[in-house]
Copies of this chain bind each other. A is one copy, B any other.
Amino acid sequence: MTENKLPYNLRFVVRDYECDLQSVVNNANYQHYLEHARHEFLISKGVSFAELHNAGIDLIVTKVEIEYKFPLRSRDEFIVTVDIQREGNVRLCFIQDIYRLPDLKLVAKAKVTGAATKKGRPVSPGNLVLRLGLES
């Protein structure tokens, strides 16, 4: 895969404190990277995670699937991609990959399913879907 064919993506560098005693990035930190890339993606579409929260709507993650292909190490640079699909009436599905730079080696593949909720109950992502350019 070449970098100019990639979907939305965000660039990171591994910080030493993200590595654990196996000298690689701790598995849970990939979820942090994925989350930060999703939030920046949503903001690039005009959707603020924090503003939504203040308005009583939370975008919550209902399912995470991550395949770990190759570990990131201290100071590796990498990108996290974000693509989005609608799934049924209330779910949004984020397809996210992590590639090391500059060789674009595949580090991890993830599928993150989310839902919009109000007071803990699922609501139609309605307006969100329009902003994200998905068919309503």
Contacts and interface: CB of A to CB of B under 8 A. Distances in A.
A134 interface: no
Given A43-B75, A63-B68, A68-B60, A28 B17 contact: yes
Given A22-B58, A67-B63, A75-B50, A15 B36 contact: yes
B36 A16 contact: yes
A8 interface: no
Interface of A: 15-17, 19-23, 26-29, 31-32, 35-36, 39, 43, 49-50, 53, 58, 60-68, 71, 74-75
Contacts of A64: 27, 64-66, 68
A20 B19 contact: yes
Nearest to A115: B68
Counting every copy of the chain, the complex holds 4
A32 B15 contact: yes
8 contacts: A16-B35, A19-B20, A27-B61, A28-B32, A31-B31, A60-B68, A60-B71, A64-B64
A49 B16 contact: yes
A64 to B, nearest CB: 5
B62 A67 contact: yes
Contact of A22 (B15, B31, B53, B62): B53
A20 B21 contact: yes
Given A16-B21, A16-B36, A63 B61 contact: no
